[in-house]
Amino acid sequence: MKIWVPSQDIMDVLSDLPEGLPEPDCAIYDGNGDLPGKPEDVEIWVPPLGWISGIPALLGRMHGLRLLQTVTAGVDAYRPYLPEQAVLCNARGVHDAGTAEWVVGAMLAMLREFPGFALAQQRCEWDYHHTAALADSTVLIVGYGSIGEAVERRLAGFEVDVVRVARTPRESENVYGEDALPKLLPKADVVVLLVPATPATDRMVDAGFLNWMKDGAVLVNAARGSVVDIDALLPEVSGGRLRAVLDVAPTEPLPPEHPLWTAPGVFITPHVAGSTPASARRIRRLVREQIIRYLSGRPLANMITGEY
């Protein structure tokens, strides 16, 4: 059984599977350079964490693929091209810690103006002034799932009100539906986006959404670039009414000439929220457990079916 994995460390955790299971024939494909064999022969593909080109064409050749196990929570890069006979599983839970840490760091950095102070430091300038703070603010999490819960746990010591929104409202857990956004957005100091990229969330943060946000609020996007209408965001940040911290962009890598790079009040990181040793450890654990499930004929975890 041919398995393509993205790195040596993942190959290593598949080298000593429990006795009695068929030994997989692993090859490394990290998205660069030549393919390690014929895509037609691959039964399980674990693609790399970062962006790679040519996914539609590659999946189009994977006629024997049975399982596509992503190491990301988002599956938008793969789902539209999944061969009919294959199942798609995501890495739900794997990035909760890393992404939640990034989200809390992002809101603190923007509210306490770390990017501006870093620039002042480069000018050797003691730029004393008061800043906003996270304490006493309201943080609205849009797309409240396992990463949202991890964000909320980390915010527990910051004396903030956390408001939760998800596609499916869950009254018992105080999770509002998206129809409550016009009422909730004007009260939020920080709006965190964690929704998956689907046709329903494409540009959900449009001019109307941004208009409901309160003056001085911070938008934190740890979801996907497609969720925010950048043409609507640019005038809001350029005019100084809103600020934004973005780990994701409409096109990745964001081209050097893109106006987002130089827009005032925008702090960009290059899709790094889940790129940490903590996530890497969890990825290894997930892939190993999932392959064991597959090889022993047990039900797979994190299968993506219907809406997710």
User: Which residues lie near ligand GLV (CB under 6 A)?
Assistant: 72-74, 95, 274
User: Taking the complex as a whole, how short is the minimal distance between the CB of residue 74 and ligand GLV, in angstroms?
Assistant: 3
- Is residue 112 annotated as a catalytic residue, yes or no? no
Closer residue to ligand GLV (CB): 96 or 236: 96
Catalytic residue (one of 23, 125, 252, 307): 252
- Is residue 271 annotated as a catalytic residue, yes or no? yes
Residue type, 95: H
**Nearest in space to 252 (alpha carbons), one of 236, 269, 237, 235:** 269
- Is residue 171 annotated as a catalytic residue, yes or no? no
User: Taking the complex as a whole, how short is the minimal distance between the CB of residue 96 and ligand GLV, in angstroms?
Assistant: 10
Gap between the Cα atoms of 99 and 148, Å rounded: 9
Closer residue to ligand GLV (CB): 73 or 134: 73
Gap between the Cα atoms of 169 and 172, Å rounded: 9
Closer residue to ligand GLV (CB): 2 or 92: 92
User: Taking the complex as a whole, how short is the minimal distance between the CB of residue 104 and ligand GLV, in angstroms?
Assistant: 17
Tokens of 94: 């794997």
User: Taking the complex as a whole, how short is the minimal distance between the CB of residue 48 and ligand GLV, in angstroms?
Assistant: 12
Closer residue to ligand GLV (CB): 62 or 194: 194
Contact predicate 242/210, CB 8 Å: yes
Number of Cβ atoms within 10 Å of the Cβ of 52: 15
**Nearest in space to 116 (alpha carbons), one of 102, 132, 103, 101:** 132
Catalytic residue (one of 164, 224, 282, 284): 224
Q: Which residue is nearest to ligand GLV (CB)?
A: 74
Residue where the block lists tokens 């430091």: 121
Which residues are identified as catalytic?
224, 252, 271
